Structure 1
Amino acid sequence: MRILLTGSSGWLGRFLAPTLRRAGHDVVGLDLAPGSDTQVIGTVADRALVNRTFVDYGIEAVIHCGGLHKPDIARYGAQAFVDVNVTGTLNLLEAAAAAGNDRFVFTSTTSLMISDEIRKGKAGGLREAAWLDEESGPLAPRNIYGATKLAAEDLCRLYASDHRIDVMVLRTGRFFPENDDTLDEPSGPNLKANEFLNRRLTVEDAADAHLAALERAPGLGFQRFIVSAPPPFARTDAQALMADARSVIQRYYPQAASLYAKRGWALPTHIDRVYDPGKAERLLGFRCRTDFGSVLAALENGAQLPFVHDAGYVSPKETSRCTR
């Protein structure tokens, strides 16, 4: 198929484009920044550009992973988030419907599922970890990023219903390479390793999830999926995870504490949320290859960690912006 991939120069796009090609698809990349997989330079907020791209390249399906993200809140105003994340998604959906496309994959975020109560966690009086799946709600995103992503999801739902497009929404966990923009401790690699317990995946797994969604979409209508490394925990662990996460981790991974100690790392004292990716496994046949056990195996064998940490990573759209 001829796939329009938005965000093709970004972190996910640079892994997703080759993944799609290996599966036999033709890829047309659209991004603000130039890149090896980007043929169209521009923004999805430009409706004329989107429509022209569909006509010029004969687009048959869309994977929409471009947009403004949580760290962009410090650089862009609310209107920019609406223009890109909401209007841009609408432009793509309208073009896909007009072109008779039968499937559309939208990259969303688990971030929109986090209320202020969950974010404050134990300090805010939360007594057990929130167990989050696609039915969790009501949703109350805590920032403009989450609010615009949720609005875009609703547009996807409407277009799936009104235009008979099978639309797969992937609420991905964390896979960014840079440091967390709100936490200084633990160190970046330590924090990323911890997050494989409940809220992280590799960028390679994120790319594979999008391919699975694209290829399994026909006949599924509108679906939302959480995409994250499978957690080792059960729902019955929720209270213990908030009270003393290390003891719960010890039950599942007796070797974790000693392997972490050798690295000078710290296990989390509490876990305030767990994302459940079971629906993606049931309907898409997709399960992340890398999990917390993979991290421990690398520590035990002295191998390279199975995820990327790059404290100096800057989005290509920002480096491109600085040179314009």
Structure 2
Amino acid sequence: MRVLVSGSSGWLGRYLVPALTGAGHQVVGLDVATGAHTEIVGSVADRGLVDRLFAEWRFDAVIHAGALHKPDIVRYARQAFIDVNVSGTLNLLEAAVAHGASRFVFTSTTSLMISHAIRAGEGEAAVWIDETMTPLEPRNIYGVTKLAGERLCRLLHEETGLPIVILRTSRFFPEEDDTHRTLSGENMKANELLHRRLTVEDAVAGHLAALDRAPDIGFDTLIMSAPTPFARAEAAALKRYAPSVIATHFPEAAALYAAKGWTLPASIDRVYDASRAERVLGFRCATDFAAVLRALEDGAPLPFAHDADYTSPLVIAPSSSSPSPHPSYSPSSRT
């Protein structure tokens, strides 16, 4: 297929485009920043550019992975999030319909499912998060605009029949967390594979599965995250004292962590359940917490990417097509 990939210079795009090419697809990358897999430097918010690209290339499919993300909140005004994450999504959807594309995959985020209450860890039990969770109360402009993008996807599918699969990915960024610095980045990422993370390789594989299955599915919204070892019945115990629950599933974890100088989570406040993706797509993330423990036991490399110095290409070399920066932004303002 001829596939348009937005966000081709980003962390996901740099893995996704080669995987699509390797699977036999002809790929055109679109991003506001230059990159090894980006043929077109420009914004999805530019409707004229989007229409010209579809008219020229006649894309069979779209993977819309480009967006402003949560760390961009300190760099860009809310209007930029509306322009890119909402209007840009609508531009791609309408162009896909107008030019007869056969499928559309939208990269969304589990972040839009996290309210202020969940973020603050309120409640007596870990929140079990699956696709049935309501109401959705995103806590920032990133989540609000990604949810709006999802609603546009549903609307366009209902009105036109365009097959669309929405993938709510959990964390797979390589850099340090921009708000939590209590643990080392590697320790935190390892812990998160228990309940709220996947690898970029698994994110890519999930996108390829969604691209393949979209016409058969029609429309669906799926959480993509490493399979959790926990059961919903363990939610209260996870919130009270997570190490005891972890020990029932992985008796070796405490000793392996101690040898590494790592710390297991004392409390887990949320669990992402990706089992629906396994049922609908036949897809299950290959890397989980057990893979981390095997690596620690064998002295092997950790099975996930960690790069404390990773910087978004949008920050390194913003192009003339980039959204307008927030007036208060400075490179040191990200915390």
State whether TM-score is above 0.5: yes
Which digits, 9 at most, give the CA deviation of each residue in 1:124-160, with x for residues without a partner? 3x10000011110100000000000000000000011
**Aligned position for 2:294:** 297
Distance 1:46-1:322 versus aligned 2 partners, 3 A rule? closer
Q: Specify the alignment match of 2:26 in structure 1.
A: 26
Q: Contact conserved, 2:32 with 2:319, CA < 8 A, in 1?
A: no
Instruction: Write the distance in 1 (CA, Å) between the matches of 2:197 and 2:39.
Output: 30
Q: How many angstroms apart in 1 are the aligned matches of 2:54 and 2:313?
A: 24
Aligned equivalents of 2:37, 2:115: Cα separation in 1? 36
Q: Is it true that 1:36 corresponds to 2:33 in the alignment?
A: no
- Do the aligned residues in 2 keep the contact of 1:227 with 1:277 (CA within 8 Å)? yes
2:50 is equivalent to residue 50 of structure 1: yes
1:101 alignment partner, SS class:
coil
Aligned partner of residue 132 in structure 2, secondary structure: coil
Paired residue for 2:313? 316
Answer yes or no: is the 8 Å Cα contact 2:238–2:268 preserved in 1: yes
**Contact 1:102/1:164, CA 8 A, preserved across alignment:** no
One-letter code aligned to 1:172: T
For 1:288, the equivalent position in structure 2 comes to: 285
What is the TM-score normalised by the length of structure 1?
A: 0.98
Question: What whole-Å deviation, never above 9, does each CA across 1:247-293 have from its counterpart, x for those lacking one?
Answer: 00000000000000001000000100000001110110110000000
Superposition pairs for residues 40-79 of structure 1, below 5 Å?
40-79=40-79
| Aligned twin of 1:254 | 251
Q: Is the 1:110–1:171 contact (alpha carbons within 8 Å) kept by the matching residues of 2?
A: yes
Distance in 2 of aligned mates of 1:289 and 1:142: 30
CA distance in 2, matches of 1:28, 1:285: 27
2:183 is the counterpart of 1:174: no
Equivalents in 2 of 1:296, 1:322: separation in Å? Answer: 42
Q: In 2 relative to 1, CA 151–289 (structure 1 residues): closer, same or farther, beyond 3 Å?
A: same
* Residues 35-184 of structure 1 mapped to structure 2, 5 A cutoff: 35-121=35-121, 124=122, 126-184=123-181
Partner of 1:206: 203
Number of corresponding residues = 321
Q: Determine the C-alpha separation between the residues in 1 that align with 2:15 and 2:274.
A: 21
Q: Distance in 1 between matches of 2:133 and 2:107?
A: 18
TM alignment of 1:232-251, pairs within 5 A: 232-251=229-248
Aligned to 1:14: 14
Q: Cα RMSD over matched residues?
A: 1.1
Identify the residue that residue 329 of structure 2 maps to in structure 1.
Answer: none
CA contact (8 A) 2:33 2:319 kept: no
Q: Distance in 1 between matches of 2:87 and 2:318?
A: 21
Structure number with higher relative contact order (C-alpha < 8 Å, ≥ 6 residues apart):
2
Provide the C-alpha distance between the structure 2 equivalents of 1:312 and 1:210, rounded to a whole number of angstroms: 26
**Structure 1 unaligned regions, length at least 5:** none
CA offsets, 1:152-174, max 9 Å, x none?
00000001111111100000000
Query: What's the TM-score, normalizing by structure 2?
Result: 0.94
Provide the residue aligned with 2:185 in structure 1. 188
Unaligned runs of 5+ in 2: 323-335
Deviations 1:196-254 (A, max 9, x none): 00000000000000000000111312200000000000010000000010000000000
Amino acid at match of 1:78: R
Aligned equivalents of 2:319, 2:258: Cα separation in 1: 42
Amino acid at match of 2:125: E
